[in-house]
Amino acid sequence: MRNLYKNILLFAAVLFSGNALAQNAHFVEHGTIEFEKRSNMYAIIKKKINKDNETYYLPAFDQYKKTNPQFKVSKSTLSFNRNKSIYKWQPTDEAAGNTWLSRDAFADLRNTILTDFDSNTSLSQKNVYEELYLVKDSLRKINWKITDETREIAGYDCRRANALIMDSIYVVAYFTNQIEVSGGPESFTGLPGMILGLALPHENMTWFATKVTETTVPEKD
């Protein structure tokens, strides 16, 4: 009987502490996230080298490694509320270290994307061969598989999810349900929370949040 009483008290204590944590949990609905995109240019360039071009690619690649860092880094921001988000890039000096060898369509992608979660649509401003285009589309449906793996990103507890897009591109995402918006960098959405980390392992690219700033919305009179 004494052991039963102890178990009841222990269960009550755990239940109370869990309820207290849930009541004190803070969820973000409006804010701005700063992302850092890192492209492993050494790996990307190496994949382009084959028997047909190695005579001029290999010397150029060796020279590139002497004068350029392994990772090309670019920064972007995602501003969001419960209904919409806008993803845009910070200005960079494109001329710095930009050679024919380092140009890569995916690594250099700089789309501005407005996402409407209510209508499940996006409006993208794309730069193609120095021409700007506006493209409206439905949000991509991604068959995410959520795992038990967790990690902390920018101060938020995140859970890992995996997916395959375009039949062949493997995607790893880390999302947090502490930000109650089903958004993320680029056009990646569809998880029960905000994506703060994104990796395309076979494309040698990652996007990770470095800072999350919550914004307050003025109350209406």
Polymer length in residues for the chain: 221
**How confident is the model over 140-151, as pLDDT tens digits?**
999 999 999 999
| pLDDT at residue 11, rounded to an integer | 41
Phi/psi of residue 176, nearest 5 degrees: -125, 135
Instruction: Say how many CA atoms lie within 13 Å of 193 toward its Cβ.
Output: 18
| pLDDT at residue 2, rounded to an integer | 52
| pLDDT at residue 154, rounded to an integer | 98
28-214 to CATH, choices 3.40.50, 2.50.20, 3.30.70, 1.10.3470 = 2.50.20
CA distance 27 to 196: 15
pLDDT < 70 regions, the chain: 1-25, 93-98, 129, 217-221
Kindly tell me the burial class for residue 89, based on how many C-beta atoms sit within 10 Å of its own C-beta (0-12, 13-18, 19 or more): middle
Tokens linked to 208: 């990770």
Tokens linked to 219: 């109350």
Whether the full predicted model's pTM is greater than 0.75, yes or no, is yes
